[in-house]
Structure 1
Amino acid sequence: MTASPQSPRPSRSSPTSAAQEPGNTVTTAVPARLDRLPWSRWHWMIVIGLGTVWILDGLEVTTVGNIASRLSEDGSGLTITSAQVTGVAAALYVAGACAGALFFGRLTDKYGRKKLFMVTLAVYLGATALTALSFDAWWFFLFRFLTGFGIGGEYAAINSAIDELIPSKYRGRVDLIINGSYWLGAIGGSLLSVLMLNTSIFPKDLGWRLTFALGVVLGLVILLVRRHVPESPRWQFIHGHGEAAERLVSSVEREIEEEKGERLPPPDREITIHQRKSIGFGLIAKTVFREYPKRSVLGLSLFIGQAFLYNAITFGFGAILTTFFDVPSGSTGYYFAVIAAGNFLGPLFLGKLFDTVGRRIMISSTYLLSGVLLFATAWLFGRGSLSATTLTACWCVVLFFASAGASSAYLTVSEIFPMETRAMAIAFFYAIGTAAGGISGPLIFADLTESGVVGDTVLAFQIGAGLMCAAGLVAAALAVNAERRSLEDIATPLSAASE
C-alpha cells in the first residue's frame, strides 16, 4: 500500500496554482518521475492488484471449455449440447467482451482507470455468480455474455493503468507477463475441471456450478487487494487533478526512497499540457485513424491474428482430443493444463527481450514462428503422425511463442497512441480484432473440429497459422520501436501544449 499522501515533499514539477481546474495549462514532470523509479514493493502491489484478474479470466474460459461435454450430458441440470457450449456460448462470451471493452473503454478515458477497473470486476463477479445458478440454456447464454462484458471492460481499464504506472524500462516485460498470467488461470481451470467432473466426488449437476462459485470467491479476494491500487497520475494531471497527481507521486517517491535507502535522481524532463475534462469520441477516432493510420493497421493485424488462433482453435482443443484420440471428457483437463503452461512460460521467458532486443524484432518473430510451427503441426496431424500426447507437445511449442506475441498485441495498442485515447484504443482494437476471430471463429471451428474429419481440423489449424504469419509480416514492417521509451515520447498527448 502506498504511503499516506499527507504532507508531501516539495513537488519536483511545477504545476500552476490552478492545476485543479480543467482548461488551465500545467507543466509537470510526473511522467518522467514515474519512468525513472526503480522496481519496488509499490510496483508489485500494482502487478498483483491489476494482473490477477487475468488468472480469473483464464480460469473462467478454460473451465467452460473443459466442462462442455459434461454440461451436454443427461443429469447436468441444463438442456444444452457440447457444440452450443463451445460455439454459441463461447461466441456470446467474446461478443460480451467486445461490447464491454467499447462501453467501459470510453468511460475509462473519461472517468479514470481506478473507478472503472473496480466497476468492471464487480460486473464480472455478479455475472459469474449467476452463471452458476443456470437452470436453462438461455440463462447460461445470457450470463456468459454479461461475464464477457465485465472482462472486456477489464482489458481496457487495466492495460491502460498498467502501462501508465510501470516505469518504461520494465513496461514491456510486465505487460506481457501480466497478460500471460491468464494461462495460470487456465492451468487451474484445467485441473479444477478434472476434480469437478469426477462424479464420485460431485454429482453431475453440482460440480460445474461449484467451479463458477469458486471463481466468485477468488474475485472477491482480488477486489479487496485492488482497492489499494491508485489512480493513474498521468490521467489525473491531464483531467484537472494535477495536485492529486503530485501528492500521489511524491508519496510513492518517499516510500521507495525509504525502501531503497537512497535518494532518487531528479527527473530529466517536463511536459506542458492543457488540462481538460474529457476528449470527444470524434477527436479520438480522428487521432487514431487519420494521424496514426499505419499504427492502426498494425493493431488490427495483431489482434485478428491472435484472436483466430486462440478463440477459434485452442478453446476447441478438448473437442479435438475426445473426437480424434478418444480421450475421456473427464481427462482433457490434464492435456490442457500442459499447453496452458507453455502459454505462460512464453511471456515469462521472452518478456524481457521485448525491452532489450526490441518490440519490432520480438513481435514479428513470435507471430511468424508460431504460425510456421502451427503449419507444421497441421501437416503432422493430417498425416496421422500425432497422438494425444505428441499433439499436446506440438501445441506447447507453438503457444510458447504465440502467447508472447498475443500479449504483445495488448502492449502495442496501449502504448502507441496518445494518452487521452489509450483505453478507447485498446477497447476498439480488441473489439474489432476479437470480433473477427473470437466470435466468428468459435462458430466456424466448432463444426470443423468436432466433425470427425481430419481435413476439417487441418483447415482450422491452417487458417490460424496463416493469420498469425500475416500479422507477423505486418509487424516486421510497421511495429514501433517503443522499448524503454516514455509513453509521451512514443505518442505526444493530445493535450500537450505547442512549443
Structure 2
Amino acid sequence: MRDMPGPAATGDRFETDVPARLDRLPWAGFHWRVVIALGITWVLDGLEVTLVGSLAGAIHQSPSLALTETQIGLTASAYLIGAVVGALGFGWLADRIGRRRLFFLTLLVYMTASIATGFAWDFWSFALFRALTGAGIGGEYAAVNSAIQELIPARYRGTTDLCVNGTFWGGAAIGAAAALVVLNPAVIDPEIGWRAAFVVGGALSLVVLLLRRHIPESPRWLMLHGRPDEAARIVGDIERDVEGTKDPLPPPSYGNVVLHRRGAASITEVWHAMFDSHRERAVLGLTLMSCQAFFYNAVFFTYALVLTRFYGIPAHEVGWYMLPFALGNLMGPLTLGRFFDTIGRKPMITATYALSGVLMAATGAAFAAGWLSAWEQTLAWTVIFFFASAAASAAYLTVGESFPLEMRATAIALFYAIGTGVGGVIGPTLFGWLIQGGHRTDIFWGYLIAAVLMLVAAATEWRLGFAAEGKPLEQVSAPLSASGRRVAEAR
C-alpha cells in the first residue's frame, strides 16, 4: 500500500482524506465483520418482535399472566415507546461520545431486559420489561445505522443498508421456528416455553458482545470531532487489513474534505438543519418512517391474534404461518437492495411503497369478504411485505443520508422516534382493539388506513426524493464543520 498523506491542519482548520480512502475500498472481510457484528441488531429485533407475535396466544392463555388481547396490544406499544425513548437518548449520546461505546451499552440494556421478560409475573412487569428491551433496541438503531453508513463504501451503501435492515426478518424467521418448539406441548410446557424463549434470546447477546470487540470507532465520527490523526490511523489499519486479501487499492475517486474542529451539533443546529436548511428532507423522512411504522406494526404485532381468532389456528401452530411471512420479508431487501444503488433511490422507494399500499388494500378487502383461508392470507401478506420490507429499510437509509454527519445518529433517532410514535405505538393498540371487537369489517378499515398511508409516502418520495446512490455522505449532505459546505474537488 502506498503511503497516504496525513491530515494537514492550520489552527482549528484541517484537511483530511478519510472519506475518500474509506469510499475507495473494495468489499472485503472487514466489511463483512462490520455487517455481522453490527447488523445482528436487526436479527435480535426481529427475534424479539416475532416471539411476542408468535407467543401472543400462549401469553394470552398463560395461567400466570392471562393477558387480554387489548393488553397484548398495549405491551407491544410499550415495547415501541421504550424504543422511542431509547433511540432519542442513546442517539443523542452516539453523536457526542461516539458510536462504539454505544454498541456495548445498548446491547447490555437489551440483554438484561429480554432475560427479565422471561420472569415477568403480571401485566405491569411484562410491559415494563418489554419497554426496557425496546429502549436497548431503539438505541441500537441510531448508533448502528450511523456506523454502518459511515464505514461502508458509497457504491455499496444502499445495498448494504437495505440488506442489513432486512435481516430483521432473519431474526423473525428464527423466532417463528423457535415458537414451534417452545409452544409444542409434546416438547415443553407452553407456560415454561414462552418464558424460556425470552431468556435464551437475551443470553445470545453475549456472543454479539464478543464480535463487537473488533469493530473500531467510526473514522468519520472521529474526523468530524477534531481527531483526524486518530481517524487516519484507523483507516490505515483497515486498508492494511483489506490489502492483505485484495489487489493494491485504487486511488481515491475524489479529493479531500476541509473541516473545522468542533464538537457535536447543538440542539439549535439540529433544529435549524432539520426544519430550515433541510426542511424538505425532514418532511420526506418523517413521512416515510411514520407510514411504514404504522403499516408494519399494525399488522405484524397482531397477526397471531388474527390467525387464532378468525381462522381458528391453535396458538402452538402460529409459527408455521409466521415462518413464510418472515422469509418473504427477508427476501425483499436481499433481492431488491442492489437496485437502490443501480436504478436509484427515488424510483425504487416510490415503487415499493406504492405496490405495498395497493396490495394491502386489495388483500384487506378479500379478508373482510372472507375469501381467504389461513394459508391464502399468509401468502398474500408474504407478497405484500416482500415489497414493504424493502420500502421500510429504505426509510432508514434515506434518513441517515439526509443530514450532516455531526447529527446523523440524532437524526436517525429523532425520525425513528417520531415515526414509531405516530405510526407504531398507535397501530398495535388500534388493531388490538379492532380485533377484540371480532368484526372483519372493522379490521378492514384499519388495513385500508395503512394502505392509504403507504400511497401517501410513495407520492411524497416521488415529489421530494433525492439521488444519493454512489455519492459520498459528505456530498449528499455537507458536514456542518465543512469549509464551504462541500466536498473539495478531486485534485
TM interval, short-chain normalised: over 0.9
Query: Does 2:8 align with 1:11?
Result: no
SS at match of 2:47: helix
SS at match of 1:260: coil
Equivalent residue, structure 1, for 2:406: 420
From 344, 348, 360, the counterpart of 2:334: 348
Equivalent residue, structure 2, for 1:393: 379
Equivalent residue, structure 1, for 2:481: 495
Equivalent residue, structure 2, for 1:29: 17
Q: Greater CA deviation, 259-268 or 409-418?
A: 259-268
Equivalent residue, structure 2, for 1:62: 50
In the superposition, the TM-score normalised over structure 2's length comes to: 0.96
In structure 2, how many angstroms separate the alpha carbons of the residues matched to 1:163 and 1:100? 20
From 122, 128, 131, the counterpart of 1:145: 131
In structure 2, how many angstroms separate the alpha carbons of the residues matched to 1:152 and 1:266? 35
Q: Deviations over 1:421-448 (max 9, x none)?
A: 1101101111001101111111111121
Equivalent residue, structure 2, for 1:128: 114
From 70, 75, 91, the counterpart of 1:83: 70
Q: Deviations over 1:166-197 (max 9, x none)?
A: 00000001000100100011111111112101
Query: Does 2:256 align with 1:270?
Result: yes
Alignment coverage as a number of residue pairs? 485
Structure 1's 256 and 276: CA in aligned 2 closer, same or farther, altered over 3 A? same
Structure 1's 69 and 323: CA in aligned 2 closer, same or farther, altered over 3 A? same
In structure 2, how many angstroms separate the alpha carbons of the residues matched to 1:435 and 1:66? 23
Percent of residue pairs bearing the same amino acid type: 47
In structure 2, how many angstroms separate the alpha carbons of the residues matched to 1:79 and 1:327? 18
Q: Which amino acid aligns with 2:324?
A: V
In structure 1, how many angstroms separate the alpha carbons of the residues matched to 2:27 and 2:301? 36
Instruction: Say if 2:353 and 2:458, in contact at 8 Å, map to a contact too.
Output: yes
What does residue range 72-471 of structure 1 map to in structure 2 within 5 Å?
A: 72-75=60-63, 77-85=64-72, 87-266=73-252, 268-471=254-457
In structure 1, how many angstroms separate the alpha carbons of the residues matched to 2:6 and 2:70? 58
Q: Which amino acid aligns with 2:254?
A: D
In structure 2, how many angstroms separate the alpha carbons of the residues matched to 1:169 and 1:317? 37
In structure 1, how many angstroms separate the alpha carbons of the residues matched to 2:81 and 2:62? 28
Equivalent residue, structure 2, for 1:39: 27
How many Å apart are 1:10 and its aligned residue?
A: 3.8
Instruction: Say if 2:15 and 2:257, in contact at 8 Å, map to a contact too.
Output: yes
Q: Which runs of 5+ in 2 are unaligned?
A: 486-491
Query: Does 2:37 align with 1:49?
Result: yes
Q: Greater CA deviation, 41-50 or 268-277?
A: 268-277
In structure 2, how many angstroms separate the alpha carbons of the residues matched to 1:307 and 1:74? 29
Instruction: Say if 2:176 and 2:320, in contact at 8 Å, map to a contact too.
Output: yes
How many Å apart are 1:74 and its aligned residue?
A: 4.6
In structure 2, how many angstroms separate the alpha carbons of the residues matched to 1:166 and 1:15? 24
How many Å apart are 1:13 and its aligned residue?
A: 4.3
Instruction: Say if 1:233 and 1:249, in contact at 8 Å, map to a contact too.
Output: yes
In structure 2, how many angstroms separate the alpha carbons of the residues matched to 1:358 and 1:12? 34
Q: Deviations over 1:116-154 (max 9, x none)?
A: 121111111111111111122211111111110111100
SS at match of 1:27: strand
Equivalent residue, structure 1, for 2:488: none
Q: Which amino acid aligns with 2:274?
A: V
SS at match of 1:170: helix
Instruction: Say if 2:7 and 2:228, in contact at 8 Å, map to a contact too.
Output: no
Q: Which amino acid aligns with 1:11?
A: M
Q: Greater CA deviation, 193-202 or 221-230?
A: 193-202
How many Å apart are 1:312 and its aligned residue?
A: 1.1
In structure 1, how many angstroms separate the alpha carbons of the residues matched to 2:47 and 2:114? 11
Instruction: Say if 1:71 and 1:82, in contact at 8 Å, map to a contact too.
Output: no
In structure 2, how many angstroms separate the alpha carbons of the residues matched to 1:68 and 1:391? 19
In structure 2, how many angstroms separate the alpha carbons of the residues matched to 1:202 and 1:404? 36
In structure 2, how many angstroms separate the alpha carbons of the residues matched to 1:338 and 1:152? 26
Instruction: Say if 1:117 and 1:154, in contact at 8 Å, map to a contact too.
Output: yes
Q: Which runs of 5+ in 1 are unaligned?
A: 1-7
In structure 2, how many angstroms separate the alpha carbons of the residues matched to 1:363 and 1:218? 34
Q: Deviations over 1:433-466 (max 9, x none)?
A: 1101111111111121342211012111111111
How many Å apart are 1:483 and its aligned residue?
A: 0.5
Equivalent residue, structure 2, for 1:3: none
Instruction: Say if 1:105 and 1:423, in contact at 8 Å, map to a contact too.
Output: yes
In structure 2, how many angstroms separate the alpha carbons of the residues matched to 1:324 and 1:139? 29
Instruction: Say if 2:225 and 2:261, in contact at 8 Å, map to a contact too.
Output: yes
In structure 2, how many angstroms separate the alpha carbons of the residues matched to 1:97 and 1:461? 24
